Copies of this chain bind each other. A is one copy, B any other.
Amino acid sequence: MSIRERIAAANERAADCIVESDPAWVDIMPAGEIVEGLEDHMILHSGPPIGYEDMCGLHKRGMISGALFEGWAASEEEADKMIKAGEIKISTALDHNTVGAGTGIITQSVEMMVIEDRTSGKRAATFPAEGPFQGGLCGWGLYSPEIAENLRFMREELFPVMREMIISMGGLPIKPILAEGMQMGDENHTRQTAADLLFDKKVLPFLFRMDQEKDRILKVIEYIVETPRFFHCYGQGASKAALMAAEDVEWSTMVTAVGGNALEFGIKVAGLKGRWFTAPAPMMKGRYTSSRYSEKDQLPWIGDSCVVECAGMGGLAAAASPIVCNLRGMKLEESIALTREMEQICIKKNHNFSIPNLDFDFLPVGIDIRKVLKTGIAPEIHGGMFNHEGGLIGAGSARVPMECFEKAMVAFAGEYSE
């Protein structure tokens, strides 16, 4: 087989890891038990690896918050000192079986949703939605005693009931919900309105049947029903689990991770396991939640949630969601054209995701770094805009920097030259 044939065959296998995946929400577990390699006194963050000194204020504060939340330090000063001294280690979420959505701060006692790809057996863990709680969210880089209390409430009051539920349900298949949701206007990155409702329909009757104190179940129902974008973590977990299977495919030029840490943006490639290829983090373009915000308030790209784009959703699924694209100033025709553009850099089509606005054609899946470089088309990624001080100030999109693909291609040529 020529190199070209080997790569083509590997890419087919890697993309099929996504297409043939069968993700199910199977459990809720503390990060320390489910996230491989997450040690005691270790804090995960989003984006490619970065030193503490180089982190933006939001990531630094996340590190300190994590140390306080775990009780490793008694004060911010002490936490800062311990991290600087290496007594608390830092690591990037995407190098583990998890996803650093937003700031991506994950420590051992945070409870995580466990998604298993029943095709490959891979398990990924994602940080759950923090409920309808209005006091700011940890995932958006904020921290306060109230936020910590909300996390405790989730862990101690909600999740024992939900865990009993999901285990007695025997797991909840994620793909049918993604597929039907994408026929109802979700692109499953910025919008999961339909998926949330389909999820509610599956779990609410089950919760209702449980032999538990009514008041406890009611709290869980309120948490599920009232949380916007509740399903987001499941889409991320399903994507990550499938991409973990693809990471084992040598010779493949398929992208398996993309994410930013506000300083740098990085990608990973299936055939180059464990390596990052980075460029300066791009700024997102889109719409702010208030007219008082402008680009100066906005951090460069931070977060790993575009793992869903690696699995063929979000920006790649623009045609499925003119409602999301309109928020970015796009017309229906442009949203369809965007998915058609993304087809040019993808390995194949995903027969699971048939889209009404594409006259039931399938979404593209599997970003091939060779095709990106050949066409000059960079992947479109959707996401939320962060304020320097934390908090969400808008939603928009960006293109993955071309430099990431250039560096990856050089490395690939070095690794796989005959």
Interface positions of A (Cβ within 8 A of B): 183-185, 193-194, 197-198, 200-201, 204-205, 208-209, 214, 217-218, 221-222, 225, 321-323, 326, 331-332, 356-360
Contact = CB atoms under 8 A, between A and B. Distances in A.
5 contacts: A183-B323, A194-B197, A197-B201, A326-B356, A326-B360
A135 to B, nearest CB: 22
Contact of A332 (B198, B218, B222, B356): B356
A222 B209 CA distance: 11
A65 to B, nearest CB: 32
Contact of A194 (B194, B208, B326, B358): B194
Contacts of A357: 322, 332, 357
Given A193-B184, A326-B356, A359-B332, A217 B208 contact: yes
Contacts of A331: 359
Contacts of A184: 184-185, 193-194
Contacts of A204: 200, 204-205, 208, 221, 225
A185 B185 CA distance: 7
A246 to B, nearest CB: 31
Nearest to A198: B197
Given A322-B356, A331-B359, A360-B326, A205 B185 contact: no
Given A184-B184, A197-B200, A200-B200, A359 B326 contact: yes
B205 A222 contact: yes
Nearest to A180: B193
A86 to B, nearest CB: 48
Contacts of A326: 356, 359-360
A409 to B, nearest CB: 37
A193 B194 CA distance: 10
A225 B199 CA distance: 12
A344 to B, nearest CB: 21
B201 A225 contact: yes
